[in-house]
Amino acid sequence: MLAQLDDVLREYAQAPGALIPVLQIAQAIFGYLPETALKRIAQALDKPYSEVAGVVGFYSFFTRVPRGKHLIRVCLGTACYVRGGKEVLSALKSALRVEVGETTSDRTFSLDVGRCFGACGLAPVIMIDDDVHQRVRPTKLPKILEQYRHHAAETLESAAVGPEAQS
Amino acid sequence: MNSTVSDQYRALADQAERARDRQKPGEKILIQIGSATCENAAGSVDVLDEFRKHIAASGREDIVLRRTGCTGRCSREPIVGILVPGKMPVKYERVDRPLVHEIFTRHILQGEPVLARILDGPLEKLSQHEILTCQSNRCGWEGAESLQTALARRLGDLGITPDQVRITAASCFGACGLNQLGTCSHMLVRPDKVLYRVYNEDDLDEILQEHVIHGHTVDRLKVVEKTVGRKFFEMYGDVAFFNRQSRIALRHNGIIDPESIDEYFHYRGFQALSTVLSKGDPQWVIDEVTKARLRGRGGGGYPTGQKWSMAAKAAEKTRYIICNADEGDPGAFMDRSMLESDPFNVVEGMIIGGYAIGANRGFFYIRAEYPMAIRRIDGAIRQCRERGLLGKNILGSGFDFDLEIRLGAGAFVCGEETALIHSIEGERGQPRIRPPYPTESGLWGKPTVINNVETFANITAIVNYGAGWFSRIGTAASGGTKVFALAGKILHTGLVEVPMGTTLREIVYEIGGGVAGGKQLKAVQTGGPAGGCIPAKWLDTPVDFDTLAKAGSIMGSGGMIVLDEDDCAVDIARFFMTFSQDESCGKCTPCREGTTRLLEILDRITQGTGTLADLEKLERLAKLIKKSSLCGLGRAAPNPVLSTLEHFRDEYIAHVTQQRCPAKKCVALVHYEISAEKCVGCTVCARNCPVTCITGARREAHIIDQVRCIKCGRCFEVCRFDAVQRL
């Protein structure tokens, strides 16, 4: 994976404003941003490590701890909030036995919150990887999670495929 | 005029038209399926799959599936349109696999629409014709009564029933001012796609006799010019949610295939770019945009022409143009819809903007939460490059321009222009003090124009239909329309595009259908975390940048959340403060520390431990933060607090003096009890209680253990006998 990162760095080394795209690609490669990768990025882009770490810490999309196979983000935008997003979040916390920002012990799911995915008409929504699930009620959660558990077991190595890819 | 440009454009448009014609769209039955983030979430992928299977099984070759973006009628998705040549287009709502089967076998194969499931239906009968009459106050005719009344009376006199011809009121068709000879009104005859100018009662009689009765078009009165919302009305004109809107920025949503450049060409795609490049005068573009009185749709409302002009005058020749697609306001999703449903229109708007200011490079800054929008814009850019509409020497004009996408990384503050620039530069997205404004010193120190998605989406319409036309729509200070994302406790959620100056009442009641569930409207929250709550008594406020500011809120990017009697003003203020506090970038103290302290006070109040002195503190601190913060985020963050304090002070007082939440929303201030009289002992509440704190035997009244109760409200929701009370 580090070799893959080196290829990316060679391509981006001279481009102005490359840091954030490079971090985004690195996170896609590793699933998170390990320190070795950050150090290599800092070196290749000729930036102090502190600056790279500062950028990583600033943006909520970057994570320095490994995440589960599927990232669940519960929308807490206004429309979802007034339509019960908070209840969905607490149901997920108890179903997965994790807090926001944590990963289940089997590494299947990580739980996070989001700020509006722009699907307010279907509130409350949750996003699992790139799929948006609509009108989620706490009672609907087991079924939704099951699809991904099943999926995670089936395709351990290949990249996640959402319903999008079928169209 | 540069003939090379128009020749090259013509050649591309012809090529696209030929590609489209090969599929003979006019002769086939079209099944149109929405495809956007929300459509897919609602299940349109399954619907597409099911239709595909049905078509294959039927062996019919005259049925075509077609992908469109979303119309912005979110709560009714997935939406499917069935277009049979010569027949009224029919749209279905909430389509699922069983309904696909019904639509296919009954409607497509046997010609009988499934009336029970028609969008915004059900309908008892589908009329053969529909006449949409313009209700805009800009339209007038010589008749003594309104066009609609006169039409209705004549149809009655002629013995024509509503089954044969239905009359529907509509907003502006965008034909006013185009080649008309005096005052006239307009009406559109569906499904024949004929738009008429009606000057007087004789004209009306002629149209009824010739067209409606005998089926001959009255060419003398026909509007031959292309008008802006025409295709949209032809498709969706019968739906109340749509026909009161004036669609400009959203004019292609739900009409065109967002992934096909050929389709876009068919809808006047790149004609505006061709016009601009063949004129060869960037100043002309700036003048048009200025004349149109287009103001920035991202929230600031800065005149776009003026912004472009400042960048164009800069001494530095390397300039950049950026599309701000970091739609971060919770509750706003119009930008996502435009990017996903009509991406080429935004791209074309950016190329024109780049030409106007003299930029050769542009950036889309799109938030990473919108994967489909990113894919669609990426696809649009690629197709534009293939046809030479991006890259070197565009349409032979000598103008070089290219676009690239940068993804947001989850920081709300990056919607602020200087923070956004820092983010593209690869730094922490923190704002800096302005001036210098980006038009003077922006990306990498070069003059930079940043406009919002919706602003760019209006540019092609201004060039194609004229600045004069655009400026007539809207108010004296602000031309055109604004798209609002209507959500919350509203019956019809979705995207609403109306002329500037439309009242909140029209938006909420006439288009939105009022509050869901028969509850009382409490307030409308506009402008997201930077906005405020406008109380129900101010519903007649015309919506514009300036009027909303006067009402203590802001236009913002157009989020509009409807709140009902069950929403607590303090809780809403606390919700937005949690957001602003979390998203504060931490650079300036007033915002970083101030929002934290405001949140602490609001927490105390909603917990029932606040005091009257807290209200004063809130107000003083809020005003201080407003005055002293570095950027827009901090300066606007106190707005939700200040506006709720102003309009709903009594609720704050009830929280602090009586430890009571009048809306019964604040968890710490409510508790649940079961009425022994109403409880029938069905045990549903006990079985649903997550902490098993409800006890009672079957057929006997149940009791909640108040000590163990976590106040989740589950029992309240599931009780069918109203026995559980929230007190």
Q: Which residue of B has its CA nearest to A132?
A: B41
Q: What is the CATH number of domain B129-238?
A: 3.40.30.10
CB B463 within 8 Å of CB B285: yes
- Summarize pLDDT for B678-703 with one digit per residue, the tens: 999 999 999 988 788 999 999 999 99
d(CA B180, CA B647): 47
pLDDT, greater one: B518 or B672: B672
Residue A114 CB partners (closer than 8 Å, separation 6+): A73, A74, A75, A76, A77, A127, B369
CB B67 within 8 Å of CB A159: no
The vertex-B174 CA angle with B479 and B384, nearest 5°, equals: 80
Identify the sign of the CA torsion B463, B328, B521, B714: positive
User: Beta partners for B474?
Assistant: B479
- The total number of residues shown for chain B amounts to 727
| Contact between chains at A122 and B41 (C-beta distance less than 8 A) | yes
State residue B149's pLDDT score: 92
Average pLDDT value for residue range B665-690? 92
Distances (CA, A) of B119 to B78, B88, B164, B488: 10, 13, 20, 20
The two three-digit tokens of residue B361, written as one number: 């490079």
Delimiting residues of CATH 3.10.20.600 domain(s) in chain B: 481-567
Decide if pLDDT at B641 tops 80.
yes
Q: What does residue A13 show for φ and ψ, rounded to 5 degrees?
A: -50, -40
- Summarize pLDDT for B531-547 with one digit per residue, the tens: 999 999 999 999 999 99
| Contact between chains at A119 and B407 (C-beta distance less than 8 A) | no
- Summarize pLDDT for B550-561 with one digit per residue, the tens: 888 899 889 999
| Contact between chains at A115 and B427 (C-beta distance less than 8 A) | no
| Contact between chains at B45 and A90 (C-beta distance less than 8 A) | no
- The CA-based diameter of chain B, rounded to the nearest angstrom, is 88
**Interface list for B 390-419 with A (CB within 8 A):** 406-412
Centroid of chain to Cα B327:
12
- Summarize pLDDT for B456-503 with one digit per residue, the tens: 999 999 999 999 999 988 899 999 999 999 988 999 999 999 999 999
Alpha helices (H) along B510-611: 545-550, 569-583, 589-607
Quote the crossing angle between the two packed helices B3-21 and B271-279, to the nearest 10°.
170
- Summarize pLDDT for B66-85 with one digit per residue, the tens: 999 999 998 899 999 999 99
Average pLDDT value for residue range B705-715? 88
d(CA B93, CA B98): 13
Q: What does residue B410 show for φ and ψ, rounded to 5 degrees?
A: 85, 55
CB contacts, 8 Å: A55 with chain B: 426-428
| Contact between chains at A122 and B42 (C-beta distance less than 8 A) | yes
3-state SS class at B31: strand
Interface test with A, best of B46, B70, B74, B714 (most A CBs within 10 A): B74
Q: What does residue B91 show for φ and ψ, rounded to 5 degrees?
A: -115, 140
State residue A153's pLDDT score: 62
State residue B714's pLDDT score: 81
Which among A78-87, B97-106, B168-177 has the top mean pLDDT?
B97-106
Alpha helices (H) along B158-270: 201-207, 230-236, 240-243, 261-266
**CATH number 1.20.1440.230 given to B570-657:** yes
- Summarize pLDDT for B333-358 with one digit per residue, the tens: 999 999 999 999 999 999 999 999 99
**Which residue in B335, B444, B485 is closest to A16 by CB distance?**
B444
Q: What does residue B469 show for φ and ψ, rounded to 5 degrees?
A: -60, -45
Centroid of chain to Cα B16:
29
| Contact between chains at B411 and A114 (C-beta distance less than 8 A) | no
State residue A159's pLDDT score: 37
Interface test with A, best of B334, B341, B369 (most A CBs within 10 A): B369
d(CA B149, CA B208): 14
State residue A160's pLDDT score: 35
CB B178 within 8 Å of CB B135: no
d(CA A70, CA A145): 10
State residue B136's pLDDT score: 78
**Cβ neighbours of B145 (radius 10 Å):** 12
| Contact between chains at A81 and B48 (C-beta distance less than 8 A) | no
Residue-by-residue DSSP string for B596-607: HHHHHHHHHHHH
Residue carrying structure tokens 């969706």: B236
| Residue A24 binned pLDDT confidence (cut-offs 50, 70, 90) | very high
- Summarize pLDDT for B159-196 with one digit per residue, the tens: 999 889 999 999 888 887 777 788 899 999 999 999 99
Residue B147 identity (one-letter amino acid):
L
- Summarize pLDDT for A57-75 with one digit per residue, the tens: 999 999 999 999 999 999 9
Identify the sign of the CA torsion A50, A56, A60, A62: negative
Decide if pLDDT at B151 tops 60.
yes
B575 touches chain A (CB under 8 A): yes
The two three-digit tokens of residue B179, written as one number: 């080649």
| Residue A164 binned pLDDT confidence (cut-offs 50, 70, 90) | very low
The two three-digit tokens of residue A135, written as one number: 């009108």
Distances (CA, A) of A38 to A22, A63, A135, B475, B569: 10, 11, 39, 52, 45
Interface test with B, best of A23, A27, A116, A144 (most B CBs within 10 A): A116
Q: Is the peptide bond before B85 cis (omega within 30 degrees of 0)?
A: no
d(CA B455, CA B298): 8
Residue carrying structure tokens 């009791």: B703
Nearest one of A132, A136, A133 to A83, comparing CA atoms: A136
Distances (CA, A) of B471 to B281, B289, B667: 21, 10, 49
Average pLDDT value for residue range B310-314? 97
Per residue, the 3-state secondary structure of B538-552, as one string, reads HCCCECCHHHHHHCC
Per residue, the 3-state secondary structure of A90-157, as one string, reads HHHHHHHCCCCCCECCCCCEEEEEECCCCCHHHCCCEEECCEEECCCCHHHHHHHHHHHHHHHHHCCC
Q: Is the peptide bond before B122 cis (omega within 30 degrees of 0)?
A: yes
The two three-digit tokens of residue B193, written as one number: 């796609």
The mean pLDDT value of chain B amounts to 94
Average pLDDT value for residue range B37-48? 93
- Topology of B481-567 in CATH? Ubiquitin-like (UB roll) (3.10.20)
Residue B261 identity (one-letter amino acid):
I
Which residues in B493-517 are b (16+ Cβ under 10 Å) and which e?
bbbbbbbbbbbbbbbbbbbbbbbbe
Residue B438 identity (one-letter amino acid):
P
State residue B299's pLDDT score: 84
Decide if pLDDT at B256 tops 80.
yes
CB B77 within 8 Å of CB B44: yes
| Residue A158 binned pLDDT confidence (cut-offs 50, 70, 90) | very low
Q: Which residue of B has its CA nearest to A76?
A: B330
d(CA A91, CA B690): 10
Domains of chain A: 2-58 (no CATH), 70-156 (3.40.30.10)
**CATH number 3.40.30.10 given to B23-34+36-69+80-117:** yes
| Residue A167 binned pLDDT confidence (cut-offs 50, 70, 90) | very low
CB contacts, 8 Å: B410 with chain A: 59-62
Decide if pLDDT at B508 tops 60.
yes
Average pLDDT value for residue range B627-640? 95
User: Half-sphere exposure (CA, 13 Å, Cβ side) for B718?
Assistant: 16
d(CA B107, CA B114): 6
Decide if pLDDT at B363 tops 70.
yes
Task: Please name the CATH architecture into which domain B263-448 falls.
Answer: 3-Layer(aba) Sandwich (3.40)
The rounded percent of chain B whose pLDDT value lies above 90 is 85
- Summarize pLDDT for B573-617 with one digit per residue, the tens: 999 999 999 999 999 999 999 999 999 999 999 999 999 999 999
| Residue A154 binned pLDDT confidence (cut-offs 50, 70, 90) | low
B563 touches chain A (CB under 8 A): yes
CB contacts, 8 Å: A164 with chain B: 40, 45, 371-372
Distances (CA, A) of B324 to B223, B328, B388, B405, B419: 37, 10, 24, 11, 11
Q: Is the peptide bond before B98 cis (omega within 30 degrees of 0)?
A: no
Average pLDDT value for residue range B375-383? 98
Residue B233 CB partners (closer than 8 Å, separation 6+): B132, B170, B173, B188, B190, B243
State residue A5's pLDDT score: 94
State residue B712's pLDDT score: 80
| Residue A152 binned pLDDT confidence (cut-offs 50, 70, 90) | low
Taking only Cα atoms into account, the Rg of chain B, rounded to an integer number of angstroms, comes to 28
Delimiting residues of CATH 3.40.30.10 domain(s) in chain B: 23-34+36-69+80-117, 129-238
- Summarize pLDDT for B257-295 with one digit per residue, the tens: 999 999 999 999 999 999 999 999 999 999 999 999 999
Delimiting residues of CATH 3.40.50.11540 domain(s) in chain B: 263-448
- Topology of B671-726 in CATH? Alpha-Beta Plaits (3.30.70)
B75 touches chain A (CB under 8 A): yes
How buried is residue B175: exposed, middle or buried, by Cβ count under 10 Å (0-12/13-18/19+)?
A: buried
Decide if pLDDT at B548 tops 50.
yes
Decide if pLDDT at A161 tops 50.
no
**Which residue in A23, A118, A164 is closest to B327 by CB distance?**
A118
User: Half-sphere exposure (CA, 13 Å, Cβ side) for B371?
Assistant: 12
Residue B456 CB partners (closer than 8 Å, separation 6+): B323, B346, B349, B350, B353
The vertex-B399 CA angle with B396 and B400, nearest 5°, equals: 110
